[in-house]
Structure 1
């Protein structure tokens, strides 16, 4: 039986964690969207980041890119996702894969019902760059700010 070298970056030890979105703090993304970070460096993540974003009726986020791949799964509701200029309608349990550098955005297809997504970034150093402004921020820096401001 082959044993992984526990000093290798992907196999460093950290404590297991159970994360319950209903018990965690969220932060506003603006425009009626709010995010709940789940697997982050704060709980020992070294390879990827995950979290959920909840969209109120009619809510959406600005067109943006990331410095790493992202996969999103719709957990609740219906979404309109624009990926590289093409719009797609997604419903519960549909998923996307968006390569690094590809402009995309999600919005709630319903004006009244909530929509919820699970996102996974392929790096703990994930950043988001808003296409319109060119402003880049670390995804986890937003979480740190939210935690710091309560």
Structure 2
């Protein structure tokens, strides 16, 4: 069967380099090497209890949508519960982090950033 270049499954994409969250996987759904030079859509899957330990900030925004699981999103020191169907907007230069609060279920979300934003924030001195 010929490979389809227009339709696919996220689970079939390779794990992406630059994963900076311990016990998580990152896959690039769309980005500079896959249909878009303007943005990077990443799919993060966090194992139970995984997540960013410290807040960080940077000079670009994020747009996120929760696909499954439950957790918390912390922005500017305020913690918000997140679950399937939740959306998250992170303005540039605002401290933030997210984590999976479940002891048994994975947390999965799509996160869109500009290409310069697909990096490890700890390497940026953020």
Structure 1 position 19, deviation (Å): 4.2
Name the TM-score, length of structure 1 as normaliser: 0.70
Checking the alignment, whether the CA contact within 8 Å between 1:65 and 1:128 is kept in structure 2 is no
1:84 — aligned with what? 76
Structure 2 unaligned spans of 5+:
none
2:40 — aligned with what? 49
The structure with the largest alpha-carbon Rg is 1
Structure 1 unaligned spans of 5+:
1-15, 138-150
Higher relative contact order (CA 8 A, sep 6+): 2
Q: For 1:1-150, list aligned pairs within 5 A.
A: 17-27=6-16, 28-62=19-53, 63-121=55-113, 123-126=114-117, 127-130=119-122, 135-136=123-124
Structure 1 position 29, deviation (Å): 3.2
Name the TM-score, length of structure 2 as normaliser: 0.82
Moved over 6 A (4+): none
Secondary structure in 1 matching 2:51: coil
The structure in which a higher percent of residues are helix is 1
